Copies of this chain bind each other. A is one copy, B any other.
Amino acid sequence: MLIIDCHGHYTTAPDAHQKFRDRQLAHLKNPASPTPTPARISDDEIRETIETNQLKLQRERGADITIFSPRASAMGHHIGGEETSTEWTRACNDLIKRVVDLYPENFVGVCQLPQSPGASVAKSVAELERCVTELGFIGCNLNPDPSGGKWQTLPLTDKYWYPFYEKMAELDVPAMVHVSASCNPNFHATGAHYINADTTAFMQFIEADLFKDFPTLRFIIPHGGGAVPYHWGRYRGLADMLKRPPLREHVMKNVFFDTCVYHQPGIDLLLDVIDIDNILFGSEMVGAVRGIDSETGQYFDDTKRYIDAAKISAEDKQRIFELNVRRVFPRLDRILKARGQ
């Protein structure tokens, strides 16, 4: 059995990468200054940041492969316009590609998108195509609120997004629904904005008929599906009140939850109420919560432990750790099969 972590971010990228971003933001303020170019980063710098963090934790915790994407909180789609977002996004994705090339056994790429409030999805379509067909990526992170906590953009079920979904369907890649930083003082990023976005996206899917229009579309809602499994009765009841089909038919053929829930009772609830086929192993590491739980003596985000300890069959564990992930990411499945895995 392979252990595939579907949710990892390059939160530890070399400083030079952030300095490029800083120069980009300075250029936004003073457009007369020279246009900055992405940082020159050596392979050794990348190795240093990966081997002391993600790769070390992979080995310590017993994962084989991480589906790896740029730091979510740094996507910053609300900063600057479409051009700024596009340049930053390409630099972030190119850096992920270098990690994958250095450690092809351990990482596979998922891309950030050059979203920008008010802009069309054309640049995102192009970047998804570039990342999948040229860089070998297997999916993307789609931000349901590119306005950064202001929620001034359109629901994920609006026709606005349809050209992007057509490209996702054509390339047969899923999207993780993932917001970036919050510029709204009401919302702490990882403590409120992330979880709210997960819950919000799920309810948008209930209200609309997106999956009638795109029956093969697949979304991963991270952080254990936000509030959804805990309120599973509420969502089943709301679907009924809104005269929608049962959730299993209406939404759950297309929506999957990861296991980024940082305590045993939460994971146990997830495994209890959600069909096992809709659950993908994920840890979000090195990520939102980096400390050790004083109640267990283990890292909060070592989510493999919770699944190992769960009272489900070995077959079900293999579905969560490997088989569901391969099914939702068919391009990963092809890569692994080509390697004989």
The listed residue with most B CB atoms (<10 A of its CB), out of A224, A240, A266, A300, is: A266
Contact partner, A151, options B186, B191, B207, B261, Cβ 8 Å: B186
Residues in B with CB closer than 8 Å to A229 are: 230
> What separation, in Å, do the CA atoms of A236 and B231 have in the docked complex?
20
A206 at the interface (CB under 8 A from B): yes
Assess whether A273 is interfacial by the CB under 8 Å rule.
yes
How would residues 140 to 157 of chain A score, 1 for a CB under 8 Å from any chain B CB and 0 otherwise?
Answer: 000011000111011100
Q: Which B residues are in CB contact (< 8 Å) with A103?
A: none
- Given known contacts A151-B150, A230-B230, A232-B263, A200 and B187 CB-to-CB distance under 8 angstroms: yes
Q: How far is the CA of A294 from the CA of B234 in the complex (A)?
A: 13
Contacts of A233 in B (CB 8 A): 261-263, 266, 289, 293, 300
**In chain A between 147 and 200, which residues have their CB closer than 8 angstroms to a CB of chain B?**
149-151, 153-155, 184-188, 190-192, 195-196, 199-200
Q: How far is the CA of A203 from the CA of B188 in the complex (A)?
A: 7
- Please determine whether B291 and A191 come into contact, CB atoms closer than 8 angstroms: no
Contacts A186-B145, A261-B231, A263-B232; A289 near B238 (Cβ below 8 A): yes
Establish whether residues B203 and A154, one from each chain, have CB atoms under 8 Å apart when the complex forms: no
Which residues of A (281-303) have their CB < 8 Å from a CB of B? 288-291, 293-295, 300-301
Point out the residues of chain B lying under 8 angstroms from A293, CB to CB. 233, 236-237
Are A151 and B184 interface neighbours, CB within 8 A? Answer: yes
Judged by a CB distance under 8 angstroms, whether A265 is at the interface is yes
A223 close to chain B: CB less than 8 A:
yes
Q: Smallest Cβ distance from A252 to chain B, in angstroms?
A: 15
| Given known A-B contacts A151-B151, A236-B293, A227 and B195 have beta carbons under 8 A apart | yes
Cα distance A271–B46 when bound, in Å? 45
CB pair B269–A234 under 8 Å, yes or no, is: no
Asked, given contacts A291-B237, A300-B237, whether A269 binds B230 with beta carbons under 8 Å apart, the answer is: yes
By the criterion CB–CB under 8 Å, are A289 and B241 in contact?
A: yes
Please give the distance in Å from A310's CB to the nearest CB on chain B: 14
Residue of B nearest to A229 (CB): B230
The answer to whether A192 touches B186, judged by C-beta atoms less than 8 angstroms apart, is no
Interface set of A (CB-CB < 8 Å, partner B) = 144-145, 149-151, 153-155, 184-188, 190-192, 195-196, 199-200, 203-204, 206-207, 223-224, 226-227, 229-238, 240-241, 261-263, 265-266, 268-269, 272-273, 288-291, 293-295, 300-301
Further 10 A-B residue pairs, CB within 8 A, beyond A144-B186, A199-B199, A269-B269: A151-B186, A154-B186, A188-B207, A191-B206, A192-B200, A195-B231, A223-B231, A229-B230, A230-B266, A234-B288
